[in-house]
Chains A and B, each alone.
Chain A
Amino acid sequence: MIIERSSEWKEGFAKRLENREAWDSWKLYNMSYEIAKANLITDFRGLQSPRYLPNLTPLAHQLEVAETVIERMNGKAILADEVGLGKTIEAGLILKEYLIRGLVKKALILVPASLVNQWLDELNQKFHIPALQYKKNYDLNYCSVVVMSLDTAKRSPHKENIYEQDFDLIIIDEAHKLKNHKTQSYEFVRNLKKKFCLLLTATPIQNDVFELFYLISLLKPGHLGNYESFQSAFSASKHNVEHDEYLKELVNQVMVRNRREDTGIEWTNRNVEIIPIEFTKEEKEVYDLISELKNVSTVFSDAFSLITLQREMCSSKEATALTLTDMLEKCTKQEDISYIEEIIGKLMALEINSKAEKAYEIISRVNGNKVIIFTEYKGSQTYLQWYLQSKGISSVPFNGKFNKNKREWMKQLFKDQAQVLIATESGSEGINLQFCHHVINYDLPWNPMKLEQRIGRVHRLGQEHDVNIYNLAIQNTIEDHILDLLYVKIGVFEQVVGELDDILS
């Protein structure tokens, strides 16, 4: 076994014996011994970190996660608590523990750009870990705990700088961003040395079971076998697996997941409703014309843009018009052009937006309480703001591209003045809005975990009211199909990862 020792003390002692340097204070000598004794780590097991964090009171489930990850998972794990249970706190506890125990000297924390500051604040203030934000001209040799955005890290020359370093612990927040193994991010993390490693995501499966396979293969290649053996052992296809009990057990060896109801904390209820909406006759006519596009000309046969158009039509004419206008520019044949122009004409003549009316109806029912509307489209965001304004309801927009100041400003405006916040998808990470308890999913995403992320903005620690979720879906349109697929995906998640809190109804 390797024994490390240093001759430093011996040399210092020799200098004193030869009277070349003065002896030290007897009082300080005793104090030094007492301090060493008091701070001694006498057991391989157990957590030291809580003693060092007098101003933080971690919740029982958070301490349990930290202990499990260190003792049973050897410091390599996916932290997959439901949104709002404090995964950052868990990761902070683990990092702190390793720092105290001297097992980690250097740590790298990769997060979405919008969360860099939040991480720095938490680590510095709650955990007293002097974490630095990575800057271009920093020499990583001198940084012990660095926070940077994954998007920066994966690019040259940062990538190379990072590979040169010897990081002991890698933490990746919102790790579901690595679900696609063909991306640059995935490749970057795959080639990163991961001695201890924490992947944080509330949603380890977003669409299909292979995402989890690839995530675990980043953390611990081989744990689920290689791709072929995984596929055959579990007869895995995207939305189906067999032997799921066995798979679940394997997954649980590298993943911890707390659900709200396991935490022993009193959670407010979550009431989820699907609200079916009927198009008006005129809206339906436009929708059908759009659905017919693929039979009109091969120019429109691209399934993806057709589906996009259908979804947009379920949202607002503003969103639809933008895409149609783009299409028009690509058309060369006169008949195609006139077909599209006809649709645009009918679209622009629409006076009623059934979905917006339903949203307004819900807002006016909640007695002045705050409401968040999530939409997939910027066009709809702008339209809704105008529409609600015309009904005397004040609202603020929100999206992920806002910088930190603007986000905080909008959040404050929403809290103090406006009744409604209208957010696009990218706005659903990293804002916490416990003061609001009504969420309207104006458009449905393909991915059920996006719904969970959205709801997680309000249904988290600190929420005092029951949370009401309204999922709007227009009947006999693509939204029926989206709903079906959402149910299937939730099924896969529950089979492999575990139960999910209600997100559809």
Chain B
Amino acid sequence: MYPQQIHGYLRELFKENKCQILSDSDQYLTVQLTIDMDKRIMNRPFYWQYLESTNGVPCPAQITLITDKNKLDQDVKGEVVHLGSPRLHQLFQTIKELGSFVLVYEKISGKSDSQTILTPWLGVNYKVSYFSDQTKETLYSLGINLMTGDLIEGFQESISDVDLDVNMSENTFNLPYIINPTRALDRLDAVIENKIQQDDHTWAEEAKMRWEKDRKVLEYFYEGVEERPDSYDIEKEAMDQQYEARIKIEIINGGLFYLK
């Protein structure tokens, strides 16, 4: 991820949350936080608790984030953020929290006499992680038509060229959904589980083999020892946790999409 990308993300995060941007060069960003944003990212719950209990005048912080330290030629005081810095991690987490659920409509430009009919879809972005002593992650973006139950894979990509907005355009008509979105979500969950089942799980087999190998080594160490010491059980437990294959399904975000 390039510094410019990160810079762009952060600018949008603050703009979308009504934080005033005080200065914005390519290398850094100074922002006046709103009260809500201050509470989210400044890690000072006691300040806010105190202020609210004493009815004080809130004074949300101003921060300067340096996104490209290498190109910065002025003397700017601020916090350096880059991929891997705890602050950026936190800001990305904030973006995730504030971009979890959407309701959007396809934009209909120009004035036409006839009404445009929009069909409701549920779109959900999943992250599936395979864990043993190693990890791998896969993204699945699924969409389901709430009228027909049709499924689309790569939903997020398929709508990337569509102009979408949180407000309805004039002269459009939204079909009411036939399939309840909550039910539809269950359908998508099932699709994901099915995908996982169909997937190649050599990784889990291999982890199991590593596990068994280590277990044999441990048994060898304690061969002939009648009363096994605590350390034997501790070792065994550590191995179980190290190699046991697990799968985690996580929803990044999703929502209702009204499309032509």
- Please tell me if the beta carbons of A217 and B9 are within 8 angstroms of each other in the complex: no
CA distance A64 to B221 in the complex (A): 30
- Please tell me if the beta carbons of B84 and A226 are within 8 angstroms of each other in the complex: no
- Please tell me if the beta carbons of A32 and B96 are within 8 angstroms of each other in the complex: yes
**Is A222 at the interface (CB under 8 A from chain B)?**
yes
Of A18-26, A259-267, A427-435, the segment with at least 4 beta carbons within 8 Å of chain B is A18-26
The contact of A51 among B83, B139, B230, by CB within 8 Å, is: B83
Of B44-52, B53-61, B110-118, B247-255, the segment with at least 4 beta carbons within 8 Å of chain A is B247-255
- Please tell me if the beta carbons of B217 and A221 are within 8 angstroms of each other in the complex: yes
Note all chain A residues with C-beta closer than 8 A to B83: 51-52, 54
B residues 204-260 in Cβ contact with A at 8 Å: 204, 210, 214, 216-223, 230-231, 234-235, 237-238, 241-255
The answer to whether A74 and B196 touch (CB under 8 A), given A14-B182, A191-B230, is: no
Note all chain B residues with C-beta closer than 8 A to A3: 193, 196, 246-249
The answer to whether A54 and B238 touch (CB under 8 A), given A4-B249, A27-B12, is: no
Chain A residue nearest in CB terms to B1: A38
Note all chain A residues with C-beta closer than 8 A to B99: 24-25, 27-32
CA distance A168 to B237 in the complex (A): 12
Note all chain A residues with C-beta closer than 8 A to B193: 3
- Please tell me if the beta carbons of B102 and A226 are within 8 angstroms of each other in the complex: no
- Please tell me if the beta carbons of A36 and B221 are within 8 angstroms of each other in the complex: no
The answer to whether A31 and B13 touch (CB under 8 A), given A24-B99, A102-B135, A220-B217, is: yes
CB distance from B30 to the nearest CB of A (A): 21
Of A5-13, A438-446, A495-503, the segment with at least 4 beta carbons within 8 Å of chain B is A5-13
- Please tell me if the beta carbons of A9 and B254 are within 8 angstroms of each other in the complex: yes
The contact of B218 among A102, A103, A190, A221, by CB within 8 Å, is: A221
B residues 104-140 in Cβ contact with A at 8 Å: 104, 125, 127, 129-131, 133-139
**Is A41 at the interface (CB under 8 A from chain B)?**
yes
CA distance A44 to B182 in the complex (A): 34
- Please tell me if the beta carbons of B98 and A28 are within 8 angstroms of each other in the complex: yes
- Please tell me if the beta carbons of B137 and A196 are within 8 angstroms of each other in the complex: no
- Please tell me if the beta carbons of B95 and A17 are within 8 angstroms of each other in the complex: no
**Is A322 at the interface (CB under 8 A from chain B)?**
no
CA distance A206 to B136 in the complex (A): 40
CB distance from B133 to the nearest CB of A (A): 5
**Is A35 at the interface (CB under 8 A from chain B)?**
yes
Note all chain A residues with C-beta closer than 8 A to B85: 128
CB distance from A415 to the nearest CB of B (A): 29
CB distance from A169 to the nearest CB of B (A): 10
Q: How many residues of B contact A (CB 8 A)?
A: 79
**Is A296 at the interface (CB under 8 A from chain B)?**
no
Note all chain B residues with C-beta closer than 8 A to A54: 82-84
**Is B21 at the interface (CB under 8 A from chain A)?**
no
**Is A130 at the interface (CB under 8 A from chain B)?**
yes
**Is A154 at the interface (CB under 8 A from chain B)?**
no
Note all chain B residues with C-beta closer than 8 A to A194: 235, 238
Note all chain B residues with C-beta closer than 8 A to A53: 84
Note all chain A residues with C-beta closer than 8 A to B182: 10, 13-14, 17
**Is A42 at the interface (CB under 8 A from chain B)?**
yes
- Please tell me if the beta carbons of A222 and B220 are within 8 angstroms of each other in the complex: yes
CA distance A17 to B156 in the complex (A): 21
- Please tell me if the beta carbons of B102 and A191 are within 8 angstroms of each other in the complex: no
The contact of B135 among A13, A38, A41, by CB within 8 Å, is: A41
Which residue, of B5, B101, B156, B181, has the highest number of chain A Cβ atoms within 10 A?
A: B101
- Please tell me if the beta carbons of B204 and A31 are within 8 angstroms of each other in the complex: no
Note all chain A residues with C-beta closer than 8 A to B5: 38
- Please tell me if the beta carbons of A43 and B136 are within 8 angstroms of each other in the complex: yes
- Please tell me if the beta carbons of A103 and B101 are within 8 angstroms of each other in the complex: no
Note all chain A residues with C-beta closer than 8 A to B156: 33
Note all chain A residues with C-beta closer than 8 A to B96: 32, 35-36
The answer to whether A226 and B196 touch (CB under 8 A), given A27-B12, A31-B13, is: no
Note all chain B residues with C-beta closer than 8 A to A75: 133, 242
CA distance A493 to B104 in the complex (A): 69
Q: Mark B1-34, 1 if CB is under 8 A from A, else 0.
A: 1000100010011001100000000000000000
Note all chain A residues with C-beta closer than 8 A to B102: 23-26, 29
**Is B41 at the interface (CB under 8 A from chain A)?**
no
The contact of B16 among A25, A128, A193, by CB within 8 Å, is: A25
- Please tell me if the beta carbons of A44 and B223 are within 8 angstroms of each other in the complex: no
The contact of B166 among A6, A23, A42, by CB within 8 Å, is: A23
Note all chain B residues with C-beta closer than 8 A to A26: 102, 104, 164-166
CA distance A41 to B137 in the complex (A): 5
Note all chain B residues with C-beta closer than 8 A to A220: 214, 217
CB distance from A106 to the nearest CB of B (A): 12
Note all chain B residues with C-beta closer than 8 A to A103: 131, 133-135
Note all chain A residues with C-beta closer than 8 A to B152: none
- Please tell me if the beta carbons of A74 and B185 are within 8 angstroms of each other in the complex: no
Chain A residue nearest in CB terms to B251: A9
**Is A58 at the interface (CB under 8 A from chain B)?**
no
- Please tell me if the beta carbons of B219 and A1 are within 8 angstroms of each other in the complex: no
The contact of A33 among B166, B231, B252, by CB within 8 Å, is: B252
The contact of B129 among A14, A17, A102, by CB within 8 Å, is: A102
CA distance A52 to B92 in the complex (A): 14
CA distance A9 to B237 in the complex (A): 32
**Is A60 at the interface (CB under 8 A from chain B)?**
no
**Is A406 at the interface (CB under 8 A from chain B)?**
no
CB distance from B79 to the nearest CB of A (A): 12
- Please tell me if the beta carbons of B234 and A191 are within 8 angstroms of each other in the complex: yes
The answer to whether A28 and B13 touch (CB under 8 A), given A1-B247, A35-B92, A193-B237, is: yes
- Please tell me if the beta carbons of B137 and A31 are within 8 angstroms of each other in the complex: no
CA distance A130 to B85 in the complex (A): 10
The contact of B181 among A17, A45, A226, by CB within 8 Å, is: A17
- Please tell me if the beta carbons of A33 and B9 are within 8 angstroms of each other in the complex: no
- Please tell me if the beta carbons of A195 and B241 are within 8 angstroms of each other in the complex: yes
Note all chain B residues with C-beta closer than 8 A to A404: none
12 further contact pairs, Cβ within 8 A, besides A2-B244, A51-B84: A4-B246, A16-B255, A17-B182, A26-B102, A28-B12, A29-B99, A32-B100, A33-B252, A36-B127, A40-B138, A222-B222, A223-B217
Would you mind naming 14 contact pairs between A and B with Cβ atoms under 8 Å apart?
A: A2-B244, A13-B181, A26-B104, A27-B16, A31-B9, A33-B156, A35-B96, A38-B1, A38-B5, A44-B203, A103-B131, A130-B86, A220-B214, A222-B216
Residues on A lying within 8 angstroms of B by beta carbon are: 1-6, 9-10, 12-14, 16-17, 23-33, 35-45, 51-55, 70-71, 74-75, 96, 101-103, 128, 130, 168, 190-196, 217, 220-223, 225-226, 229
- In the A-B complex, the 7 residue pairs with the smallest Cβ-Cβ separation, listed nearest first, are A52-B84, A222-B221, A28-B99, A222-B217, A32-B99, A9-B251, A221-B221
